[in-house]
């Protein structure tokens, strides 16, 4: 594991890296810097129809009132750039699928009406994201209690996330901050000392008297439920369930308590493990128009993983690598791959401010936004039929 000052404390980044630009003409430089100049000169609420029209005319190089594929590619080359002004677009083929999404009538061009949808639903949210920061389960029991992760295979120190999280809370203009807490009743299904309270399913490979911490059993239910057994932890209103005293609590934050149903565990801050009940986290984010979710906390490969895996189905999702600590290194790598495979990002905290400000616009998140629009359009078409 690399030190915190490195690019990634767990693995090398898997996101698309920017491409160093070649020498270019003044006109080409003007095109490339268009969205950089827009984001750095205007706030979201200052964007007008004139800006929308100017962007269209800037990239409509032949002035025919249509964006061709090459013109759309040039627009994307400008749209997806790092804070240092380097393009994330490596090949025109990376955005041809996105072009097809906005070419509604399939005539090979994006006309002004199609462009308006593209601008409002895709370009503006990419340039001006609304970002929520999730601080997941940074609780005493995971740091110095019975489930202190320093005693787990990866030997991570849970408290190491605190200064990283606090810096992000202090320096990044989040649209919303969420703290999540494991919040278990004393008779919770996940506690190994409660295993005798419920019947095991015939398919369970261990008996109640032989189980050990971290074993997985199958309870009879109904429904039959697979459950990993943990030491007693984060019992409601106990010291162990409290957020670590070093974590700064910001005004106006949302607090999500999960795992409070004694019969089912809940790793994700969105859903319980059986997807039977939902917290109000998604509703809170929707109410605030959140587009981007940044995940941090403990444990990287369990509750952070489950939350990020749910988030990536609904939001542009970023895992802040050095703001998370976990249990098993190999499982952390699996979490990262899962998120990256679904157009999410795993980044170092040093990248976050520029991303939230819209100065760093990674094409991976552009694909995520396009995929969500494609899904919405597909559902809308199905409803009409």
Percentage of the chain modeled with pLDDT above 70? 91
For residues 166 and 325, give the distance between their C-alpha atoms in angstroms, rounded to a whole number: 15
Tell me the sheet residues that pair with 217.
Answer: 227
The total of structural domains in the chain comes to: 2
pLDDT the model gives residue 344: 99
Clarify whether residues 168 and 98 are in a common domain.
Answer: no
pLDDT band with cut points at 50, 70 and 90 for residue 280: very high
Residue 155 is assigned to a structural domain of this protein: yes
pLDDT the model gives residue 383: 56
Clarify whether residues 342 and 237 are in a common domain.
Answer: yes
| Average pLDDT rounded to a whole number, residues 163-183 | 99
Residue 48 is assigned to a structural domain of this protein: yes
Q: Domain residues for 117?
A: 26-127
Clarify whether residues 167 and 105 are in a common domain.
Answer: no
pLDDT the model gives residue 378: 73
Residue 214 is assigned to a structural domain of this protein: no
- The neighbour count for residue 240, using CB atoms within 10 Å, is 19
Tell me the pTM: 0.92
Clarify whether residues 312 and 346 are in a common domain.
Answer: yes
Clarify whether residues 349 and 237 are in a common domain.
Answer: yes
Clarify whether residues 161 and 286 are in a common domain.
Answer: yes
Clarify whether residues 172 and 267 are in a common domain.
Answer: yes
* Domain final position from 86, 112, 127: 127
For residues 243 and 179, give the distance between their C-alpha atoms in angstroms, rounded to a whole number: 9
Clarify whether residues 140 and 289 are in a common domain.
Answer: yes
pLDDT in tens, 187-232: 999 999 999 999 999 999 999 999 999 999 999 989 999 999 999 9
| Average pLDDT rounded to a whole number, residues 254-270 | 97
Residue 251 is assigned to a structural domain of this protein: yes
pLDDT the model gives residue 13: 40
pLDDT the model gives residue 14: 43
Residue 41 is assigned to a structural domain of this protein: yes
Residue 35 is assigned to a structural domain of this protein: yes
pLDDT the model gives residue 76: 97
| Residue whose structure tokens are 């128009």 | 289
| Average pLDDT rounded to a whole number, residues 110-126 | 98
pLDDT band with cut points at 50, 70 and 90 for residue 385: low
| Residue whose structure tokens are 């409803």 | 383
pLDDT band with cut points at 50, 70 and 90 for residue 340: very high
Of 45, 357, 316, the C-alpha closest to 175 is 357
**Is pLDDT at 263 greater than 60 in this prediction?**
yes
pLDDT in tens, 22-36: 445 456 667 899 999
* Domain final position from 85, 100, 127: 127
pLDDT the model gives residue 205: 93
pLDDT in tens, 237-255: 999 999 999 999 999 999 9
CATH of the domain at 46: 1.10.238.10
Clarify whether residues 81 and 158 are in a common domain.
Answer: no
Catalytic residue annotation: 137, 258, 303
pLDDT band with cut points at 50, 70 and 90 for residue 357: very high
CATH of the domain at 253: 3.40.50.850
Helices 69-79 and 34-41 meet at what angle, rounded to 10?
A: 50
Mean pLDDT of the chain: 93
Q: Which two tokens stand for residue 121?
A: 């639903």
Clarify whether residues 57 and 79 are in a common domain.
Answer: yes
Clarify whether residues 305 and 341 are in a common domain.
Answer: yes
Clarify whether residues 306 and 346 are in a common domain.
Answer: yes
Of 176, 303, 168, the C-alpha closest to 234 is 303
pLDDT band with cut points at 50, 70 and 90 for residue 63: very high
* Domain final position from 76, 100, 127: 127
Query: Alpha carbon 194 to chain centroid distance?
Result: 34
Of 379, 368, 178, 373, the C-alpha closest to 288 is 178
Q: What string of H, E and C letters represents the secondary structure of the chain?
A: CCCCCCCCCCCCCCCCCCECCCCCCHHHHHHHCHHHHHHHHCCHHHCCHHHHHHHHHHHCCCCCCCECHHHHHHHHHHHCECCCCCECCCCHHHHHHHHHHHCCCCCCCECHHHHHHHHHHHHHHHHCCCEEEEEECCEHHHHCCCCCHHHCCCCCCHHHHHHHHHHHHHHCCCCEEEEEEECECCCCCCEHHHHHHCCECCCCCCCCCCCCCCCEEEECCCCCEEEECECCCCECCCHHHCECCCCCCCCCCEEEEECCCCCCCCCCCCECCCCCCECCHHHHHHHCCCCEEEEEEECCCCHHHHHHHHHCCCCEEEEEEEEEECCCHHHHHHHHHHHHHCCCEEECHHHHHHHHHCCCCCHHHHHHHHHHHHHHHHHHHHHHC
User: Is residue 264 within 8 Å of 273, Cβ to Cβ?
Assistant: yes
């Amino acid at each position: 594991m690399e030190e915190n000052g490195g690019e990634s404390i767990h693995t090398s980044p898997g996101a698309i890296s920017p491409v160093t630009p070649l020498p270019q003409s003044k006109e080409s430089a003007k095109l490339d810097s268009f969205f950089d100049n827009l984001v750095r000169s205007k706030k979201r609420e200052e964007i007008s129809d004139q800006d929308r029209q100017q962007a269209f005319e800037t990239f409509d190089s032949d002035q025919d009132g249509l964006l061709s594929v090459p013109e759309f590619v040039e627009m994307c080359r400008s749209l997806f750039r790092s804070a240092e002004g380097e393009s994330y677009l490596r090949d025109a083929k990376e955005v041809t699928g996105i072009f097809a999404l906005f070419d509604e009538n399939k005539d090979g061009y994006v006309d002004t009406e199609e462009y308006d949808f593209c601008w409002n639903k895709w370009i503006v949210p990419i340039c001006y994201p609304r970002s929520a920061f999730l601080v997941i389960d940074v609780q005493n029991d995971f740091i110095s209690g019975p489930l202190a992760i320093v005693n787990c295979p990866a030997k991570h120190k849970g408290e190491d996330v605190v200064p990283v999280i606090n810096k992000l809370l202090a320096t990044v203009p989040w649209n919303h901050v969420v703290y999540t807490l494991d919040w278990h009743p004393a008779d919770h299904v996940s506690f190994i000392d409660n295993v005798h309270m419920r019947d095991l399913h015939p398919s369970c490979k261990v008996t109640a008297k032989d189980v050990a911490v971290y074993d997985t059993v199958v309870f009879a239910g109904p429904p039959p439920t697979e459950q990993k057994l943990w030491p007693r932890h984060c019992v409601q209103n106990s010291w162990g369930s409290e957020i670590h005293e070093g974590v700064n609590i910001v005004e106006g934050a949302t607090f999500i308590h999960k795992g409070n149903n004694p019969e089912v565990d809940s790793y994700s801050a969105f859903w319980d493990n059986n997807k039977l009940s939902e917290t109000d986290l998604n509703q809170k984010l929707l109410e605030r128009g959140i587009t981007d979710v940044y995940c941090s906390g403990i444990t990287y490969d369990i509750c952070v993983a489950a939350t990020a895996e749910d988030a990536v189905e609904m939001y542009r999702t970023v895992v802040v690598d050095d703001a998370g600590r976990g249990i098993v290194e190999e499982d952390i790598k699996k979490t990262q791959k899962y998120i990256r495979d679904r157009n999410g990002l795993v980044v170092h905290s040093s990248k976050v401010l520029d991303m939230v400000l819209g100065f760093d616009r990674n094409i991976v998140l552009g694909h995520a936004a396009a995929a969500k629009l494609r899904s919405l359009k597909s559902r809308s078409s199905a409803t009409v039929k």
